[in-house]
């Protein structure tokens, strides 16, 4: 080695979690079969049952990983530089894989996940984190005179989160990023911001 970083090979447990996370994102709960998980992760069946008690346990770990990643992204945007309004705009304009959708938001539309309180919790928690950060940024923007003082921060935060999540659904329905982009531009118009 010439002083370069050594790449750490993910262990079987990490590969199982990441493989399951990707499958949930693309196929949902029912489409994430144990066979597909093993194929995607490249580990043996013994490893799966060594690390997890079954599919629900592994799915929960994968959901938590998606939630951690999304929450880290949210915190990075909303604790970054700029005014409250600038951080809201930065969130709305994040680069996203629009046609794939949101790895956490897609779970909210999965009947098997929403029917199970334990599996639903990482989704609920993540959208709670997003709502808190958006509402705080709206309040800051109002205090700085960037947004109308009559806006209710929690309602505005919910509307902005819905624009992003709804934009994903519209884009997937059309198999085009244009509906998502129009939704984001509409939100910016409502905020009085030119991108």
In CATH, what number is assigned to the domain containing residue 108? 1.10.357.10
Q: How far is CA 5 from CA 1, 8, 10, in A?
A: 9, 9, 15
Give domain status of residue 84, yes or no: yes
Give domain status of residue 32, yes or no: no
| Distance of alpha carbon 103 from alpha carbon 25, whole angstroms | 5
What's the whole-number mean pLDDT along residues 121-149?
Answer: 98
Interval 69-95: pLDDT, tens: 999 999 999 999 999 999 999 999 999
Domain span including residue 181: 63-191
Give domain status of residue 70, yes or no: yes
Interval 137-185: pLDDT, tens: 999 999 999 999 999 999 999 999 999 999 999 999 999 999 999 999 9
Give domain status of residue 37, yes or no: no
What's the whole-number mean pLDDT along residues 103-116?
Answer: 94
Q: Could you tell me the pTM of the whole model?
A: 0.89
For all residues of the chain together, what is the average pLDDT?
Answer: 93
Domains identified in the chain, total number: 1
Give domain status of residue 175, yes or no: yes
| Distance of alpha carbon 191 from alpha carbon 189, whole angstroms | 5
| Distance of alpha carbon 81 from alpha carbon 140, whole angstroms | 13
Give domain status of residue 186, yes or no: yes
Higher pLDDT, 145 or 4: 145
| Distance of alpha carbon 61 from alpha carbon 144, whole angstroms | 41
Please measure the distance between the N-terminal and C-terminal CA atoms of the chain and give it in whole angstroms.
46
Residue 45: the pLDDT is: 83
Residue 72: the pLDDT is: 97
At 8, is the pLDDT very low, low, confident or very high (cuts 50, 70, 90)? very low
Give domain status of residue 23, yes or no: no
| Distance of alpha carbon 166 from alpha carbon 190, whole angstroms | 16
């Amino acid at each position: 080695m010439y002083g370069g970083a050594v790449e750490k090979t993910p262990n079987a447990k990490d590969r199982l979690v990441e493989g399951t996370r990707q499958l949930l994102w693309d196929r949902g709960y029912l489409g994430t079969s144990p066979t597909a998980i093993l194929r995607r992760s490249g580990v043996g069946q013994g490893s799966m049952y060594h690390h997890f008690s079954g599919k629900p346990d592994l799915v929960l770990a994968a959901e938590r990983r998606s939630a951690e990643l999304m929450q880290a992204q949210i915190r990075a945007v909303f604790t970054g530089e700029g005014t409250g309004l600038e951080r809201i705009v930065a969130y709305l304009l994040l680069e996203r894989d629009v046609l794939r959708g949101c790895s956490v938001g897609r779970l909210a539309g999965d009947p098997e996940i929403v029917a199970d309180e334990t599996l639903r919790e990482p989704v609920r928690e993540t959208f709670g984190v997003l709502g808190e950060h958006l509402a705080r940024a709206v309040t800051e923007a109002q205090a700085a005179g960037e947004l109308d003082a009559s806006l209710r921060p929690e309602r505005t935060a919910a509307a902005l989160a819905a624009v992003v999540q709804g934009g994903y659904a519209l884009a997937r329905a059309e198999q085009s990023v244009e509906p998502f982009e129009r939704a984001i531009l509409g939100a910016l118009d409502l905020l009085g911001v030119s991108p």
